[in-house]
Amino acid sequence: MLSAMMPRVTLRPGERASMWLPYRGDPGANYRWLKDVCGARTRPVYNRETKEFEVAREHTQFVIDALVAEYRRVRIVQYGHARTTCVDACWNASASTVADCVCGCAGANHGSRRPLGKEVRAGLSVENELVRADYVVTKKRWKLVV
């Protein structure tokens, strides 16, 4: 079970790093702490909707290291893209030959008569799916939480 008071850093592709930080007893304390960790020129943003701070991705490792030093454990939620490819020989094949499929769709698009996701060039389609991995980071390692 993950502690409710453990800081959490969320990393999504193409977005700023967002983080939930335990309250430090003063409404501006976390903002000042982030500026101390990331540098005076950093402009942390507080997202009132998610109740998280956001900083540029280039500061992520500094923030994680500082949080581990202070709290000993940090929860990291990292999103990435899983890319599935499918070729025209697959989507134009007979649906009854799905067991013969050897392309990236693993038969999910076999015989559909249409590209999977977006056709990036003639005969090749790609579909991206957002996948999530949760980690608990300590001074010694990143541990995947299942």
| pLDDT tens-digit map of 62-100 | 999 999 999 999 999 999 888 889 999 999 998 888 888
Comparing CA positions, the residue from 19, 15, 4, 10 lying closest to residue 52 is: 19
| Single pTM value for the model | 0.76
| pLDDT tens-digit map of 17-69 | 999 999 999 989 999 999 999 999 999 999 999 999 999 999 999 999 999 99
- Which residues face 76 on adjacent strands? 9, 135
